[in-house]
Chains A and B, each alone.
Chain A
């Protein structure tokens, strides 16, 4: 067994063990932390499967953003009621174990039997690689997302917006304690932020631009941008606001506005629906999407309709 396979084995075992712990760990907070670790292991697994786009996305979105969201939600629960009883899994549902075993067996059978199947000769993947040569894009995943199957991406942005709108719609009046955010005025934090935030913007921009030819793209970039926003929220440099202003709304909807504007507006020029007029359109749309994703995730993290600067 060579090293590569050993790594694979470790990753596989790690996935299973971590997943088991995430689900069965006594303290919820530890579950969340283990989930983030699980996400990082997943990211490694994606690289082993030669899918660097997914590795980036898993690390930034799956582990990073989801973990941060979970953590923040847990913190809110604690603020609202500090005496939250520890949650331990109990054998509540008698069907749970059989169902789980059945599910695992089912999935394993079909997954393994699927390994024998060769990629379809007329499969979409091969055609995508063919079509890619007609475009100026180097990354086939970006090609699929923004050119070949861009309706999926457009509607996915809609899903993200719905999540934000939904979170606003179902929010109930906040608990008074929740407003009390840890105010950190330590100089070190300021210095850290001064590096972290520009860095996140830089990395995001790089991921965005690289995404046309190399791994990366609007989603990963948006997640990194969101990380910068999260840092600002955590240190109370940005604070939850009550009513979203026009700028917030514009930034949140920018991705969809650009996408719909170009993809549907193109019909006025006699083109077909969702045909993008050129590489510039891809850049415009991706930039707008990055801004929207970043802000949407930051807003969801802050649990508020808007973010405002720190009152002087």
Chain B
């Protein structure tokens, strides 16, 4: 039964893509949405199984490592899968109206979206370095393609930049995989972790891998592609890219660092990664503060928020692990909500320039409410998932006496408050410049509800820590965590 459910996570969306391409247009919408709804249904029994028996492994085609590929479902992977499923449902609900399955753009969107879901799920399940490469390519190509739907020139150029850097990053990663395979004769992360000797070759491979993944995750200063891509993508695609796609490579980075290179002691490298995170927090926040467009603010906010996850590497304790996972989860929910709300605003008034956003509290109360709730979580104000993440991170920093990181986190959250309150203030209280929108159409109510649901979930994440943290506790790296 378990194997069927695991297969379902990948092959339901994949199979649905194939069916969507073959079926007549009337049936498409329902089919796609049903396929997305099936994901949380698959995850529920799997969660119970992981709770009861711990990690689940499945050797594909009955070949075990080093030859075969193994799927491993532990707590961390489960959390990421849940994030994917939970974000996917409202985003799909939104996409049903913004990309109607029968129309030209929808025909482009839905198969790619389902393929992307299949790729993301396959990546979270996979414990094989090369299989991770293939899934990562699936995700990158599908993500870039979705970004270009609609043919906006800015979006197309951003897509190209994203694609070129993404392919370069993939090559670096692939080269590293080749080197590691040469040394260990294995590709399974756990097995490689056991066999890898810490010589120059392995160190270089690790550097190549990390560099590639940092580019894919848009960690400062390799973030250059992200703001334009996330800021110009069509509505739900921004939510998908910011909520899910960047998390994927960050997750891989965590896996490789702690699971594959878990018993190397690399405090200097860890500090360097943390400093990149610090750069991301400061630069992303300051850049968000001066952006003229709502979606660009949110995009730069993603650059900043991902920086918090990087603090896991220098802090490297159980608390930091909790914090980073929670940050991935809470940020995914809140950021998807923000981008959906921004998409609705853009749809309604035809622009997302901040100075044009007046009186939204009366025109688009639900969307503005969703935006504000999500902002609460991003700023790390209680009660919200973002707050718990920040609390855990501060606690982790305190326990190690890492006052520098502690101050950084505080400053970062103040900066995030600065740029988000700026947005909300402009949308509600706008004294002199009463902007009369050139066009107005109210967004479909399901689109607004989708944004609101995600925002409420981001807040609700502030009350459901026990099961989530429990899952993480059960899936700590085999070599332990070292600072």
Q: Are B3 and A273 in contact (CB under 8 A)?
A: yes
Q: Are B149 and A110 in contact (CB under 8 A)?
A: no
- Tell me if B151 counts as interface (CB < 8 A to partner A): yes
Total interface residues on B, CB under 8 Å, equals 61
Question: Which of A76-84, A149-157, A186-194 is the interface stretch?
Answer: A149-157
- Tell me if B275 counts as interface (CB < 8 A to partner A): no
- Tell me if A172 counts as interface (CB < 8 A to partner B): yes
A270 vs chain B, min Cβ distance (A) = 11
- Tell me if B456 counts as interface (CB < 8 A to partner A): no
Rounded to whole angstroms, the CA-CA distance of A151 and B134 in the bound complex is 10
Proximity string of chain B (179-190) to chain A, C-beta cutoff 8 Å, 1 when within and 0 when not: 101111111000
Proximity string of chain B (66-88) to chain A, C-beta cutoff 8 Å, 1 when within and 0 when not: 11110000000000000000000
Option from A124, A152, A156 in Cβ contact (under 8 Å) with B186: A124
Q: Are A162 and B3 in contact (CB under 8 A)?
A: no
Total interface residues on A, CB under 8 Å, equals 57
Q: Are B130 and A249 in contact (CB under 8 A)?
A: no
Chain A residue contacts of B184, Cβ below 8 A: 120, 123
Chain A residue contacts of B224, Cβ below 8 A: none
Rounded to whole angstroms, the CA-CA distance of A144 and B60 in the bound complex is 13
Which residue on B lies nearest to A116, using beta carbons? Answer: B201
Chain B residue contacts of A127, Cβ below 8 A: 66-67
Q: Are B186 and A250 in contact (CB under 8 A)?
A: no
Chain A residue contacts of B62, Cβ below 8 A: 272, 275
A195 vs chain B, min Cβ distance (A) = 34
Q: Are A122 and B142 in contact (CB under 8 A)?
A: no
Once A110-B204, A119-B185, A123-B185 are accepted as A-B contacts, the answer to whether A159 and B60 lie under 8 Å apart by CB is no
Q: Are A276 and B145 in contact (CB under 8 A)?
A: no
Q: Are B68 and A149 in contact (CB under 8 A)?
A: yes
Proximity string of chain A (139-179) to chain B, C-beta cutoff 8 Å, 1 when within and 0 when not: 00000100111111001101101110111111111000000
Rounded to whole angstroms, the CA-CA distance of A165 and B145 in the bound complex is 8
B182 vs chain A, min Cβ distance (A) = 5
- Tell me if B11 counts as interface (CB < 8 A to partner A): yes
Question: Which of A6-14, A253-261, A293-301 is the interface stretch?
Answer: A253-261
Q: Are A122 and B66 in contact (CB under 8 A)?
A: yes
- Tell me if A284 counts as interface (CB < 8 A to partner B): no
B478 vs chain A, min Cβ distance (A) = 19
Rounded to whole angstroms, the CA-CA distance of A155 and B144 in the bound complex is 17
Q: Are A151 and B67 in contact (CB under 8 A)?
A: no
Q: Are B61 and A158 in contact (CB under 8 A)?
A: no
Rounded to whole angstroms, the CA-CA distance of A208 and B281 in the bound complex is 53
Proximity string of chain A (211-255) to chain B, C-beta cutoff 8 Å, 1 when within and 0 when not: 000000000000000000000000000000000001001101100
Which residue on A lies nearest to B149, using beta carbons? Answer: A169
Once A120-B183, A155-B122, A253-B18 are accepted as A-B contacts, the answer to whether A168 and B108 lie under 8 Å apart by CB is yes
A136 vs chain B, min Cβ distance (A) = 16
B175 vs chain A, min Cβ distance (A) = 7
Which residue on A lies nearest to B68, using beta carbons? Answer: A148
Once A110-B205, A169-B148, A275-B61 are accepted as A-B contacts, the answer to whether A149 and B67 lie under 8 Å apart by CB is yes
Q: Are B141 and A159 in contact (CB under 8 A)?
A: yes
Q: Are A110 and B200 in contact (CB under 8 A)?
A: yes
Contacts between chains A and B (CB distance < 8 A), count: 167
Proximity string of chain A (115-138) to chain B, C-beta cutoff 8 Å, 1 when within and 0 when not: 001011111111110010000000
Rounded to whole angstroms, the CA-CA distance of A253 and B23 in the bound complex is 13
Which residue on B lies nearest to A170, using beta carbons? Answer: B148
- Tell me if A274 counts as interface (CB < 8 A to partner B): yes
Rounded to whole angstroms, the CA-CA distance of A131 and B11 in the bound complex is 27
Once A148-B68, A169-B148, A252-B21 are accepted as A-B contacts, the answer to whether A260 and B11 lie under 8 Å apart by CB is yes
- Tell me if A109 counts as interface (CB < 8 A to partner B): yes
Which residue on B lies nearest to A167, using beta carbons? Answer: B145
Q: Are A109 and B204 in contact (CB under 8 A)?
A: yes
B418 vs chain A, min Cβ distance (A) = 33
Rounded to whole angstroms, the CA-CA distance of A113 and B204 in the bound complex is 11
Which residue on A lies nearest to B133, using beta carbons? Answer: A152
Rounded to whole angstroms, the CA-CA distance of A264 and B122 in the bound complex is 14
- Tell me if A49 counts as interface (CB < 8 A to partner B): no
Q: Give B contacts to A, CB under 8 Å.
A: 3-4, 6-7, 11, 14-15, 17-18, 21-22, 58-63, 65-69, 108-109, 111-112, 115, 118-119, 122, 130-131, 134-135, 137-138, 141-142, 144-146, 148-149, 151, 156, 159, 175, 179, 181-187, 195, 199-201, 204-205
Apart from the given pairs A148-B61, A273-B58, 18 other A-B contacts in the complex at a CB distance below 8 Å:
A119-B185, A122-B186, A123-B185, A124-B66, A127-B67, A128-B67, A144-B67, A148-B67, A149-B61, A149-B130, A155-B122, A159-B137, A166-B146, A166-B148, A169-B146, A170-B149, A173-B151, A275-B61
Sampled A-B contacts (14; CB under 8 Å): A107-B175, A113-B200, A127-B66, A150-B60, A151-B60, A151-B61, A151-B131, A161-B115, A162-B138, A166-B144, A267-B4, A272-B3, A272-B62, A273-B3
